[in-house]
A and B are shown apart, each in its own frame.
Chain A
Amino acid sequence: MTNKISTSRTWIFGDDIDTDQLAPGRFMKDSITELASHCLEDVKQNFSANVEEGDVLVAGKNFGIGSSREQAVQALKHLGVSALVAQSFGGIFFRNAINFGLLAVVCAQAKSIQEGDDISIDADVGIIKNRSQNESYACEKLPPQLLDILKHGGLIPHLEIMMKEQE
Chain B
Amino acid sequence: MAETLAEKIIARAANRTKVCPGEIVTCTVDLAMIHDSGGPRRIKPILERLNARVWDTSKVVLVSDHYAPAVDAESAAILNLTRKWAVENGIDNFYDQQGICHVILPERGHLLPGMFVVGGDSHSPTGGAFGCFMFGVGATDMASILITGKTWVKVPNTIRIEITGTPGVDGGIADGVSAKDIILHLCSRFGVGGAEYQVVEFVGNIISRLSMSERMTLTNMSAELGAQTGLIAADETTFNYIRQTGKKPEHPVQVDNISALQSDDDAYFSATHKVNVADLVPYVAMPDSPDNAVTIEKVSGVQIQQAYIGACTGAKLEDLQMAASVLKNNTVAKGIRLLIAPASIQTTAAAAADGTLKILTESGAILMPSGCGACAGYGAGILAEGEVCISSTARNFKGRMGHPTSKVYLGSPYTVAASAIVGRIADPRDFLN
A interface with B by C-beta (< 8 Å): 16, 18-21, 24-26, 28-30, 41-42, 61-62, 65-70, 73, 88, 90-92, 94-96, 99-100, 143, 145, 154-156, 159-160, 163
Most chain B CB neighbours (cut-off 10 Å) among A90, A92, A160 = A92
Closest A residue, CB atoms, query B405: A42
Chain B 126-160, CB within 8 Å of chain A: the 1/0 string?
00000000001111110110011000101000000
| Contact in complex: A24, B38 (CB < 8 Å) | no
Say yes or no: is B116 at the interface (Cβ < 8 Å to chain A). Answer: no
| Contact in complex: B193, A90 (CB < 8 Å) | yes
Least Cβ–Cβ distance between B34 and chain A, in angstroms: 11
Among B241-249, B361-369, B396-404, which stretch is in contact with chain A?
B396-404
Q: How many residues of B contact A (CB 8 A)?
A: 47
| Contact in complex: B49, A25 (CB < 8 Å) | no
Say yes or no: is B94 at the interface (Cβ < 8 Å to chain A). Answer: no
Q: A60 to B164: give the CA distance in the assembly, Å.
A: 34
Q: A61 to B202: give the CA distance in the assembly, Å.
A: 25
Closest 10 CB pairs of A and B: A70-B138, A25-B377, A91-B197, A62-B193, A96-B138, A29-B74, A99-B140, A20-B397, A68-B122, A25-B376
Chain B 362-384, CB within 8 Å of chain A: the 1/0 string?
00000000000000111000100
Chain B contacts of A88 at CB under 8 A? 193, 196
Closest B residue, CB atoms, query A70: B138
Q: A156 to B49: give the CA distance in the assembly, Å.
A: 9
Set A18, A145, A159: member contacting B24, Cβ < 8 A: A145
Given contacts A68-B138, A154-B140, A156-B143, 14 further A-B contacts (CB under 8 A): A16-B289, A19-B122, A21-B399, A26-B382, A28-B376, A29-B378, A62-B192, A68-B121, A68-B137, A70-B138, A92-B136, A95-B141, A155-B141, A159-B147
Most chain A CB neighbours (cut-off 10 Å) among B67, B75, B378, B397 = B397
Chain A contacts of B50 at CB under 8 A? 156, 159-160, 163
Chain A contacts of B37 at CB under 8 A? 28, 69
Q: A24 to B78: give the CA distance in the assembly, Å.
A: 18
Chain B contacts of A62 at CB under 8 A? 192-193, 226
Q: A145 to B26: give the CA distance in the assembly, Å.
A: 11
| Contact in complex: A42, B24 (CB < 8 Å) | no
Say yes or no: is B310 at the interface (Cβ < 8 Å to chain A). Answer: no
Most chain A CB neighbours (cut-off 10 Å) among B136, B141, B154 = B141
Least Cβ–Cβ distance between A134 and chain B, in angstroms: 31
